[in-house]
């Protein structure tokens, strides 16, 4: 499409001609507001046409120029649109880029960065892996710690005396240590590692206490399945009986291999990328162990919800002692109890179904989508396991308080607890990293070493970004919360009227939480639910996840100024850092949830939709983009999927909702008044969509 002759040029010319603009002078003679509106329409048309992702990276820059009335950047574009010479789409993109680059004296967009979430909250990253890597680097920056005793600690943690462990033959160790390798490329190193694992498996099988339930698999040319992008994993330890293939749910210990020691940092980032996916597909993991091998230099890593600790780098072939340690390590990885690989012992598998025990005798039976007490399948529950900062208010206590007031459209409290194992509370510092003096270790610097030639995720065509701020270690505790309501994500709604009804209910739930004294602060598609089986109007849709909620009656302005939430759905005000977080910001988040659902299908992997790119924007730039959209919501509704785009009542609802949130006086409105205005818009739209019974 990018080379179709005159296609984009004609579309842009039609926009100008529809407003009687036939010359460059005519465009620049417009009033500022009209010039701004026209330019936004031109930008939207350009970006919508860019199915090759040639210019979408400039979207935020173009909108920032509109906000700053820097219309001179667009003069080459206007000239090209109105020229008699027909131009291909590619030529139009080149002209736009040249115009943006030729005005380098204008103020650049260098916003300060504020941590707003984690990679698990990113929505629809699709194929743009370098943006995900950038987010992952930022999330882990400052949270990589040297832990010199990590290898020894892992080998010794199962408390089996060395005398009772199968020991490798000295001749084998010497042979593998002295083996001459042609090079240290991936294929060579994988072949060498394969031989170690094969020997280890044979050795263990000769033991009377053989317990190998895992196997080493290396399929460097096979893609990992179960993730949103095409990537290959060098090798991994998996369940012995896992299906052949590289599905992320079967990966127990991932390996990342590079050919030089100098790429150790790149290897660690690559490993972290897979670990993030393992956490998503195996949610009962408290931590994930992984290895990097750069040439013959190995490093053991342990990732948890507070960052990562890594062993010292050591050359496994430097001497027999180092190779023995490496062999003992892979021996433990193959045979140790699952809890030493990070699996939560409070969850057990029963005939393929997950089950979690509580301190009470009755157990919670978990199937794919429904949860119930054993012996009672009528009452459905939702179970939430999370790792919360120790100093954060306990979500279970907040929800218990809200439930006591019989709040409608809010998940009802049933039970909460800090998870314990062996009568000890599970947290990161004392349990997950117990015995490892990581705080006294040097924090691994977030250097940016050169990427190896085969590493396409760090190639020169990936965009550059402002420097990320440092993080600091936060000790987190494992908490479990059970709601007495079951449902599915608001993603599951399948019609305009169902979507409007569900959102109206959730907005009422948010208001009920506010009236109970709490501000939610994280409205997103993941925190809004629908229950299709209930006849109770107050339970048909409801709000969940109060883990970042605060008591707005006691919080100081400084506490409320912390930017919290899921960036995709965060308000333009919070992204710009203009005001403290209030209920107004959460209400704007409902607007962005509405927009997101209308544009994206829950199974959509498309990369051609403007909102898919929001994850990669700086906070200030994204705030400006959203502010621009609130002024001109038609730029969003033109991207809606057909069933929503063709619903006039829904489109009117979106436009009126945007108008309210864009009102300069919205933050001075009383909560009751603002909620009433927004809810009336939703009710009015539903009234037009519901056909009266004859």
Among 254, 313, 259, 319, which residue's Cα sits nearest to residue 287?
254
pLDDT top residue among 510 and 202 = 510
Least confident stretch, 18-27, 60-69, 236-245, 522-531: 60-69
The confidence score (pLDDT) of residue 578 equals 81
Among 664, 663, 595, 606, which residue's Cα sits nearest to residue 633?
595
For the segment 219-235, the average pLDDT, to the nearest whole number, is 84
List the structure tokens of 235. Answer: 């090798």
pLDDT top residue among 609 and 41 = 41
The confidence score (pLDDT) of residue 437 equals 83
| 74 within 8 A of 42, measured Cβ to Cβ | yes
- Per-residue pLDDT band for 207 (boundaries 50, 70, 90) equals low
| 585 within 8 A of 537, measured Cβ to Cβ | no
For residues 110 and 575, what is the distance between their CA atoms, to the nearest angstrom? 14
List the structure tokens of 136. Answer: 């992952």
The rounded percent of the chain whose pLDDT value lies above 70 is 78
- Per-residue pLDDT band for 96 (boundaries 50, 70, 90) equals confident
pLDDT tens sequence across 123-139: 444 444 555 566 666 67
| 339 within 8 A of 426, measured Cβ to Cβ | no
Residue 647 has pLDDT above 80, yes or no: yes
Least confident stretch, 27-36, 268-277, 487-496, 587-596: 27-36
Residues ≥6 apart with Cβ < 8 Å to 191: none
CB neighbours (10 Å) of residue 3? 10
Beta bridge partners of 251: 238
| 652 within 8 A of 674, measured Cβ to Cβ | no
For the segment 183-200, the average pLDDT, to the nearest whole number, is 93
The confidence score (pLDDT) of residue 211 equals 61
List the structure tokens of 610. Answer: 């403007």
In the numeric block, the tokens 């739930």 are attached to 509
Q: Considering the chain, what is the average pLDDT of its residues?
A: 82
The confidence score (pLDDT) of residue 5 equals 62
Residue 320 has pLDDT above 50, yes or no: yes
pLDDT tens sequence across 510-562: 999 999 999 999 999 999 999 988 889 999 999 999 999 999 988 766 666 67
The confidence score (pLDDT) of residue 268 equals 92
Residue 566 has pLDDT above 90, yes or no: no
pLDDT tens sequence across 379-406: 778 889 999 998 889 999 999 999 999 9
pLDDT top residue among 209 and 533 = 533
For the segment 193-215, the average pLDDT, to the nearest whole number, is 80
The pTM is what?
A: 0.75
For residues 278 and 281, what is the distance between their CA atoms, to the nearest angstrom? 5
Residue 302 has pLDDT above 50, yes or no: yes
Residue 173 has pLDDT above 50, yes or no: yes
Residue 624 has pLDDT above 90, yes or no: no
pLDDT top residue among 685 and 558 = 685
What stretch of H or E contains 61? helix 59-67
The confidence score (pLDDT) of residue 112 equals 29
For the segment 248-274, the average pLDDT, to the nearest whole number, is 93
Residues ≥6 apart with Cβ < 8 Å to 308: 140, 143, 144, 145, 268, 272, 301, 302
pLDDT top residue among 319 and 615 = 319
Least confident stretch, 194-198, 531-535, 599-603, 659-663: 599-603
DSSP classification of residue 393: P
CA distances (Å), origin 8, targets 77, 90, 274, 627:
12, 9, 40, 26
- Per-residue pLDDT band for 567 (boundaries 50, 70, 90) equals confident
pLDDT top residue among 353 and 177 = 177
For residues 485 and 483, what is the distance between their CA atoms, to the nearest angstrom? 5
For residues 596 and 216, what is the distance between their CA atoms, to the nearest angstrom? 41
pLDDT tens sequence across 403-438: 999 999 999 999 999 999 989 999 999 999 987 888
| 592 within 8 A of 568, measured Cβ to Cβ | yes
- Per-residue pLDDT band for 439 (boundaries 50, 70, 90) equals confident
CA distances (Å), origin 432, targets 251, 341, 417, 424, 438:
20, 11, 18, 12, 12
| 30 within 8 A of 52, measured Cβ to Cβ | no
The confidence score (pLDDT) of residue 462 equals 40
Residue 197 has pLDDT above 90, yes or no: yes
For the segment 282-299, the average pLDDT, to the nearest whole number, is 95
| 635 within 8 A of 627, measured Cβ to Cβ | no
DSSP classification of residue 431: I
For the segment 323-340, the average pLDDT, to the nearest whole number, is 92
The confidence score (pLDDT) of residue 242 equals 81
For the segment 611-640, the average pLDDT, to the nearest whole number, is 82
- Measured between its terminal Cα atoms, the distance across the chain in Å is 49
The confidence score (pLDDT) of residue 408 equals 97
For residues 278 and 19, what is the distance between their CA atoms, to the nearest angstrom? 53
Residues ≥6 apart with Cβ < 8 Å to 406: none
List the structure tokens of 39. Answer: 């330019």
List the structure tokens of 663. Answer: 């009102």
Q: Which domains does the chain have, with CATH numbers?
A: 7-101 (no CATH), 144-344+437-449 (3.90.1570), 488-694 (1.10.510.10)
Beta bridge partners of 310: 146, 301
β-pairing, 297-304 vs 307-310, is: antiparallel
Residue by residue, DSSP assigns 97-156 as: HHHHHTTTTSPP----------GGG----TT-HHHHHHHHHHHHTT-EEE-TTHHHHHHH
Residue 93 has pLDDT above 60, yes or no: yes
Sign of dihedral through CA atoms 236, 239, 244, 249?
A: negative
Q: Measured over all CA atoms, what is the biggest interatomic distance in the chain, rounded to whole angstroms?
A: 89
List the structure tokens of 362. Answer: 């009755």
The confidence score (pLDDT) of residue 341 equals 94
The confidence score (pLDDT) of residue 158 equals 65
Residue 257 has pLDDT above 90, yes or no: yes
The rounded percent of the chain whose pLDDT value lies above 90 is 46
Residue 27 has pLDDT above 80, yes or no: yes
Residue 4 has pLDDT above 60, yes or no: no
Give the 3-state secondary structure of residue 679. helix
């Amino acid at each position: 499409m990018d080379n179709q002759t005159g296609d984009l040029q004609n579309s842009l010319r039609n926009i100008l001609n529809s407003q009687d603009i036939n010359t460059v002078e005519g465009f620049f003679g417009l009033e500022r507001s009209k010039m701004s509106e026209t330019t936004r329409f031109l930008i939207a048309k350009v970006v919508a046409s860019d199915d090759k992702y040639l210019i979408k990276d400039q979207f935020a820059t173009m909108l920032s120029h509109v906000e700053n009335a820097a219309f001179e950047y667009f003069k080459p574009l206007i000239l090209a649109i109105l020229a008699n010479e027909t131009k291909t789409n590619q030529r139009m993109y080149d002209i736009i880029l040249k115009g943006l680059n030729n005005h380098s004296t204008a103020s650049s967009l260098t916003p300060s960065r504020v941590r707003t979430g984690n990679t698990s909250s990113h929505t629809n990253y699709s194929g743009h892996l370098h943006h995900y890597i950038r987010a992952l680097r930022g999330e882990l920056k400052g949270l990589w710690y040297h832990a010199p005793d990590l290898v020894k600690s892992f080998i010794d943690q199962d408390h089996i005396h060395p005398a009772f462990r199968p020991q490798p033959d000295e001749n084998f160790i010497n042979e593998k240590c002295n083996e001459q390798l042609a090079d240290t490329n991936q294929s060579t190193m994988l072949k060498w590692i394969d031989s170690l694992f094969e020997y280890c498996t044979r050795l263990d099988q000769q033991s009377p206490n053989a317990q190998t339930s895992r196997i080493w698999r290396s399929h460097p040319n096979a893609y990992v399945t179960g993730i949103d992008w095409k990537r290959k994993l060098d090798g991994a330890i998996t369940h012995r009986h896992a299906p052949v293939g590289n599905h992320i749910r079967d990966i127990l210990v991932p390996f990342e291999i590079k050919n030089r020691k100098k790429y150790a940092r790149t290897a660690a980032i690559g490993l972290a990328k897979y670990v993030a996916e393992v956490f998503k597909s195996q949610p009962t993991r408290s931590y994930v162990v992984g290895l990097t091998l750069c040439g013959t230099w190995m490093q053991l890593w342990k990732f948890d919800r507070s960052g990562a600790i890594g062993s010292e780098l050591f050359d496994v072939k430097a001497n027999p002692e180092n190779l023995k340690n490496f062999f003992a390590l892979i021996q433990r990885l193959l045979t140790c109890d699952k809890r030493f690989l990070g699996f939560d012992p409070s969850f057990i598998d029963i005939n393929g179904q997950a089950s979690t025990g509580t301190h009470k005798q009755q157990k919670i039976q978990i199937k794919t989508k429904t949860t119930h007490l054993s012996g009672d399948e009528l009452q459905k529950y939702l179970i939430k396991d999370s790792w919360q900062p120790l100093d954060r208010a306990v979500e279970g206590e907040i929800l218990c308080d809200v439930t006591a007031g019989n709040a409608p459209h809010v998940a009802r409290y049933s039970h909460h607890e800090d998870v314990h194992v062996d009568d000890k509370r599970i947290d990161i510092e004392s349990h997950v990293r117990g015995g490892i003096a990581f705080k006294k270790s040097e924090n691994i610097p977030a250097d940016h070493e050169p990427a190896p030639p085969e590493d396409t995720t760090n190639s020169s065509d990936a965009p550059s970004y402002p420097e990320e701020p440092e993080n600091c270690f936060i000790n987190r505790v494992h908490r479990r919360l059970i709601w007495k309501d079951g449902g599915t994500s608001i993603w599951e709604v399948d019609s305009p009227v169902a979507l409007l009804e569900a959102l109206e209910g959730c907005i009422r739930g948010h208001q009920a939480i506010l009236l109970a004294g709490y501000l939610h602060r994280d409205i997103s598609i993941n925190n809004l639910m629908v229950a299709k089986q209930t006849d109770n109007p107050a339970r048909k849709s409801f709000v969940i996840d109060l883990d970042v909620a605060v008591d707005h009656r006691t919080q100081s302005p400084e506490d409320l100024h912390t930017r919290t939430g899921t960036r995709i759905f965060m308000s333009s005000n919070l992204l710009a850092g203009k005001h403290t977080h209030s209920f107004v910001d959460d209400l704007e988040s409902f607007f962005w949830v509405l927009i997101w659902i209308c544009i994206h299908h829950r199974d959509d992997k498309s990369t051609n939709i403007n909102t898919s790119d929001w994850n990669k924007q700086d906070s200030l730039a994204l705030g400006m983009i959203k502010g621009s959209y609130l002024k001109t919501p038609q730029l969003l509704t033109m991207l809606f999927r057909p069933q929503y785009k063709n619903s006039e009542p829904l489109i009117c609802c979106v436009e009126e909702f945007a108008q309210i949130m864009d009102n300069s006086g919205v933050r001075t409105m009383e909560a009751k008044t603002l909620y009433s205005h927004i809810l009336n818009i939703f009710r009015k739209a539903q009234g037009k969509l519901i056909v009266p019974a004859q």
